[in-house]
Structure 1
Amino acid sequence: MAVPSISELSLLKALWRQQPLSAREIHDAVEAGLGWSYSSTRKTLERMLDKGMVRQELRHGVQVYEALSDKVDTLAAFAHDFGKRVMEIDTPLPVNMFTGSKLVDDDELARLEQLLNDWPVDKDAAP
């Protein structure tokens, strides 16, 4: 699984909280954190469409977006990449570092722990 960029992750998080959303709604949700223009949000959404992270659909005359990237799978890939590339840790990250997250519930936390513990060796090559 491809690890999203920080900006892509921000857009995915907005969609995981509530979807579908229009580009404007996504922009409004991430603008304060990213501090960028609406056109930057649109451009990032286009890249995410190309990568298969989101899908676009016309609803009631408005283009809306939904996340195709699974939240827990994406967070596991991101956490694994961080541990490996940034922290140079070869063992699974402790799941307790995610305790208290507003992004995952208890079931998702348990699934995240399982994914991190069972991370296959061949996924190490995928940045």
Structure 2
Amino acid sequence: MAIPSISELSVLKALWKQQPLSAREIHDHVEPELGWSYSSTRKTLERMLDKGSVSQHTRHGVQVYEAALEKVGTLAAFAHDFGKRVMEMDTPLPVNMFTGSKLVDEAELAQLERLLHDWPDDQGAA
């Protein structure tokens, strides 16, 4: 799985909390965190559409977006990459480091733990 950039992750987090959202609504969610212009949000959404990270359709005459990437799998990929590449760990990150997260509930936390524990070997990974 390709890992989204930090700005793409911010967009996905907004969509995982509430979707579908218009580009303006997404911008209103991510602007406090990213501090960027509306045109940057639009450009990021275009990139994400090209990658297949989000989908777009018209609702009540407005273009809206939905996350095409599943939340727990994407977070597991991020956590695995962080543990391996940043922390140079060969073992899965302990799931208790995610306890208290506002992004995942208990069921998702359990799913995240399973995904991290059962992560496939990095054969051919870059």
**Same-fold call, TM cutoff 0.5:** yes
The equivalent residue for 1:15 is 15
Counterpart for residue 114 of structure 1: 114
The question of 1:79 aligning with 2:79 is answered yes
Shift in Å, 1:123: 6.3
- Which whole-Å CA distance do the structure 2 matches of 1:64 and 1:84 have between them? 35
RCO higher in 1 or 2 (8 Å CA, sep ≥ 6)? 1
Matched pairs, number: 126
Q: 4+ residue stretches of structure 1 with deviation over 4 A?
A: none
State the TM-score, normalizing by the size of structure 2.
Answer: 0.97
The 3 A distance-change label for structure 1 pair 123 and 67 is farther
Give the CA deviation at 1:122: 3.8
Instruction: Spell out, residue by residue over 1:68-107, the C-alpha distance to the aligned partner (whole angstroms, 9 max, x if none).
Output: 1000000000000011111001100000000000000000
Alignment gaps of 5+ in structure 1: none
Q: Separation in 2 of the partners of 1:102 and 1:63?
A: 28
Q: So what's the TM-score if we normalise by structure 1? A: 0.97
In structure 2, give the amino acid aligned to 1:73: G
For residue 65 of structure 1, what is the aligned residue in structure 2? Answer: 65
CA root-mean-square deviation: 1.0
Percent identity over paired residues: 82
Q: Which ranges of structure 2 fall in alignment gaps of 5 or more residues?
A: none
